[in-house]
Structure 1
């Protein structure tokens, strides 16, 4: 129960606190100052480009390089991402979603919070092995999203057909997405060299994992604007079907036949099941801002899917030994 409360406080509590700070500032000054947005942006950069990669590096340094069934985890993450993208695209076609909303629905279906939220949940419930498994699961996902998800969403959002082209303006974001992958490579190299992990680094890593989620929650809440969610009931419902049904239906059976239950005490198997139910990642709000399709819809899908995950999360803890 204490682990569950800790997760809920860090994930939901940080967003609520950040939102409360923004509301208080608006009541005092009549509008949220630009400085608040700047602080929020710097907080996201600090968490994503420093704290998060540091935790990943130490995790891979502490444990042996992945081998055997563990090598299936990146495949499962890629399969879940493809399943989310395909299911979202299929629903767009079936329901005739207008292009501007279709682009947002597509990225929300494709992008799941495997890395940061998933890593935090797996760390708290399953320990270092769980965090390690979550990052292996997420290894290829950022590259897939920036290399394919962005241009595909742009094409769908503009109602275009044909082969998508990678927008040169995405190269900076693509480089940022490669930072966690670089941290994995560095950690694996240090593990291979059999160098001891400094005690202080391990302690800092244990702090950095929840701190990453907390800082991102504060930063997101501080710039969160609650849109008219009722306008997007159908689209939000479709995204929830993708997250709670389509992706698990692909990932869980594959995990069950991958042999993951035979390694590390079955922790990778449990992690894969938990990760298959992750909500929309906040990165899904970036393509709508870049390409000009429905940002309010992306924000609403992120907010509602995360809220649903938080509400249903106690049920998910039943799979944890």
Structure 2
């Protein structure tokens, strides 16, 4: 477990650091490089790892159809928390619109997939796309339109979430892997090696893309808010996930693997997409950056405890 823990921290820290270095050395190309790393992760590495994991998945229990609802409730709980905090602090519209994505968006695709793969293996990784089935619907169907109305401007319109090429690529990879699994076509042995490379590559690339565009200065103004929300979210979301797993009768499903995956993914930090709405819609960019930074920091410091809990479940 120690090796996996150190490897996870190393991927996150080294990826972000490399992004910051590239931002400093090549400021004129930072957005181009960020887009390149993002595409490597979301169009190639992560779909490839999901395809491979789905191919080797054991027979699915029909009860796992409830797992996406667990993911939905867990993700939504972070958004509700941010909404309540914004109301209690009487934040203005642009600040509230920046805070809600910080509470809602979870880094399931990059950091979540890496942690699940390292600590729970390929069978656990294959449950990730099931858990996050409604993720795109919440983000692009609910949160983006909601916070767009709170911003001072809109620099562009997104396509409907079901037309998102990244979503289409991921779903296609999952569907193809599932099809090969159901046809009982043996997976070649080398695919296990492919997965072991694709998972950390996807995580590293996406985190590097964050480092390329993230401005680390001016994080003090919203420090208390960012830190407080991160800690509260780290407590609330896993509790919601565990309660949902229990209510839906999934506590012992796949020998406890479903519970472990749901708990682990509920502990993930704020996703990089939380800093996009402020750029697109004229919301408080400084608040969003601070929220993302402290959420990631709290996650890194909490990771040893998270791993102990997962191993005990």
TM-score with structure 1 setting the length: 0.88
Matches within 5 A, 1:76-87: 76-87=70-81
Displacement of 1:135: 2.6
Aligned-partner Cα distance in 1 for 2:212–2:151: 28
Using the alignment, how far apart are the partners of 2:93 and 2:279 within structure 1?
15
Contact 1:99–1:157 (8 Å) recurs in 2: yes
Does the Cα contact within 8 Å between 2:270 and 2:292 map onto a contact in 1?
yes
- Which of 105, 111, 124 aligns to 1:117? It is 111
Q: Does 1:221 align with 2:222?
A: no
Question: TM-score, normalized by length of structure 2?
Answer: 0.90
Q: How many residues align?
A: 308
Match of residue 320 from structure 1: 310
CA distance in 2, matches of 1:242, 1:134: 23
Deviation at 1:59, TM superposition (A): 1.0
Judge conservation of contact 2:73–2:240 (CA < 8 Å) in 1.
Answer: yes
> 1:78·1:141 contact (CA, 8 Å) conserved in 2?
yes
CA shift for structure 1 position 45: 1.0
Uncovered stretches (5+) of structure 1, i.e. residues with no partner: 26-31, 160-166
Counterpart of 2:253 (choices 263, 282, 286) is 263
State the Cα distance separating 1:168 from its structure 2 match: 7.9
CA distance in 2, matches of 1:264, 1:116: 24
Structure 2 residue 244 is matched with structure 1 residue 254: yes
Contact 2:81–2:233, Cα closer than 8 Å, also in 1: no
Check 1:170–1:109 CA distance in 2 against 1; reply closer, same or farther (3 A cut). Answer: same
Shift in Å, 1:12: 1.8
Question: 1:274: how far off?
Answer: 1.4
Alignment correspondent of 1:14: 15
User: 2:150 is matched with which residue?
Assistant: 156
The answer as to 2:227 corresponding to 1:233 is no
- SS of residue matched to 1:300: helix
Tell me, in whole angstroms, the C-alpha distance in 2 between the residues paired with 1:172 and 1:205.
30
Q: Displacement, 1:115?
A: 2.3
Q: Which residue of 1 aligns with 2:29?
A: 35
Secondary structure at 2:80 match in 1: helix
Selected match of 2:280 from 248, 271, 290: 290
Matches within 5 A, 1:174-185: 175=164, 176-185=166-175
User: Which segment is superposed worse, 286-295 or 148-157?
Assistant: 148-157
2: CA distance, partners of 1:242 / 1:66? 34
Post-superposition shift, 1:65?
5.6
- Give the aligned partner of residue 164 of structure 1: none
How far apart are 1:158 and its partner, in Å?
A: 5.5
**Contact residue 252 and residue 258 of structure 2 kept, 8 A:** no
The alpha carbon displacement at 1:87 in A equals 1.8
What is the distance in 2 between the residues matched to 1:221 and 1:41?
12
Tell me which residue corresponds to 2:47: 53
After superposition, the C-alpha distances for 1:233-281 in whole angstroms (9 at most, x for unaligned) are 3431453145213322321211234333423221221111111111100
Q: What's the offset of the Cα at 1:190?
A: 2.1
In structure 2, the partner of 1:171 is 159
Q: Is 2:76–2:104's contact at 8 Å kept on the other side of the alignment?
A: yes
d(CA) in 2 for partners of 1:235, 1:155: 23
- Please state how far the C-alpha of 1:44 moved relative to its aligned partner: 0.8
Q: Which runs of 4+ in 1 moved over 4 A?
A: none
What is the Cα-based RMSD across aligned positions, in Å? Answer: 2.3
Give the gaps of 5 or more residues in structure 2.
none
Distance 1:12 1:256 in 2: 34
Number of the residue aligned with 2:184? 194
